Amino acid sequence: MGRVLRTWIDPFVVALLAALAVGLLVPVPDGVRAVLDRAGDVAVTVLFLVYGMRLSTTEVLAGLRNVRLQGSILAATYLLFPALGLLLHTVAVPVLGEALATGMLYLALLPSTVQSSVAFTSLARGNVAGAICAATVSNVVGMVLTPLLVLLVMDRSGAAGAGGLGDVLLRLLLPFTVGQLLQPWVGSWVRARRWLTLSVDRGTILLVVFGAVTAATASGVWDSVTWTMVLALLAISGALLAAMLSATWWGGAALRLDVPDRIALLMCGSKKSLATGLPMAAVLFPAATAATVAVPVIIFHQLQLVVAAVLARRLGARQDG
């Protein structure tokens, strides 16, 4: 039972929820919040620098030969997901309020996960090489496309709070580009030290989340969030995940992909990245807004892990049989 719980419940999500709880319950003085904001800015810059140094350009190019698989995953991530996000935003505003509904739309614009997509594809006996490439390409493309989609789609949809293009270029794309330029010399060293990238990833996210929640608490943002809204958010997130799982699995069949490729499409095309999404939110939204925007991302992330674990085990057993 303990092993099952550790597999289904991401310990990092537990840490995130703890950061949320502390930020909600413990008063933080203005001076400390100012320090947290500056530290968060620096951490996000370092994070995207490390992303650039870690991602191998040759690995991305090598996996692009499977055009149907890669194209279908990108279409699911950056066309179908955003279309559903726009629809849900319109429907969800009266139920969730503007901030949480904006979080649902923001979630739909994020790139796919990397580690969990590949891990679940492997567990389900899918095309692991294709999943590695697709998840990597999704994140590389997402460094540019997600902020641009946020600025374009959220402005047109009326969602409030998106930051400016200058912030995106300076705090996200510039460090990522510098990291890519350094990648031929330091990439192997960085990739060989997974503890380093993991520490930067998780430390940055926890810092960003805690800073955003304390700012939201000080601004009184949570006064308008009710338990009914939280339950509605869970239901809407579950419906979005179910729609994407169905679309990617049966869409793969319509495209006549073989079963390993359909599994890769299922696992990569139905997921959204918490590791990329929360630091980006810190750049693209004011601190108080970023806290509520982060809530749908965290909830959807945990749902996708639980459901993917079940599906991967069943698909893997069927492949073995």
User: What's the pLDDT score for residue 189?
Assistant: 92
User: What's the pLDDT score for residue 303?
Assistant: 84
Q: Cβ–Cβ contacts within 10 Å for residue 276, how many?
A: 26
Show the tokens assigned to 118. 């590949």
User: What's the pLDDT score for residue 159?
Assistant: 55
String of b and e for 58-95 (b: at least 16 CB within 10 Å)? eebeebeebeebbebbbebbbebbbebbbebbeebbee
E-state strands within the chain? none
User: What's the pLDDT score for residue 1?
Assistant: 42
- Specify the CATH architecture of the domain 13-314: Up-down Bundle (1.20)
Q: Cβ–Cβ contacts within 10 Å for residue 239, how many?
A: 12
The model scores a pTM over 0.85: no
The answer to whether the beta carbons of residues 257 and 320 sit under 8 Å apart is: no
271: left (phi over 0), alpha (psi -120 to 50) or beta: beta
**Which H or E run includes 160?**
none
**Which H or E run includes 134?**
helix 128-157
Largest separation between any pair of C-alpha atoms in the chain: 61
Nearest-5° angle of CA 145, CA 72, CA 116? 75
**Which H or E run includes 29?**
none
User: What's the pLDDT score for residue 20?
Assistant: 78
Q: Where are the domains of the chain?
A: 13-314
Show the tokens assigned to 1. 């039972």
CA distance linking residue 174 with residue 12, whole number of Å: 28
Torsion of CA 94, 99, 102, 106, to 10 degrees: -150
**Residue 244's closest CA among 89, 140, 88?**
88
CA distance linking residue 133 with residue 151, whole number of Å: 27
Show the tokens assigned to 185. 């010399």
Show the tokens assigned to 43. 């951490």
Show the tokens assigned to 85. 């996000």
pLDDT values of the chain reduced to their tens digit, one per residue, 321 residues: 444 445 455 676 678 778 878 887 888 888 888 888 888 888 888 887 887 787 676 655 655 667 888 899 999 999 999 999 999 988 888 888 888 888 899 999 998 887 678 778 888 888 887 787 787 778 778 878 888 888 887 765 555 454 555 665 667 678 878 988 898 899 889 888 878 877 887 788 788 778 877 877 777 766 767 888 889 999 999 999 999 999 999 999 999 999 999 999 999 999 998 777 878 887 788 776 777 888 888 889 878 877 887 888 888 877 655
Main-chain phi, psi angles of 126, to 5 degrees: -95, -170
CA distance linking residue 114 with residue 103, whole number of Å: 21
Provide the residue type at 104 as one letter.
M
User: What's the pLDDT score for residue 243?
Assistant: 96
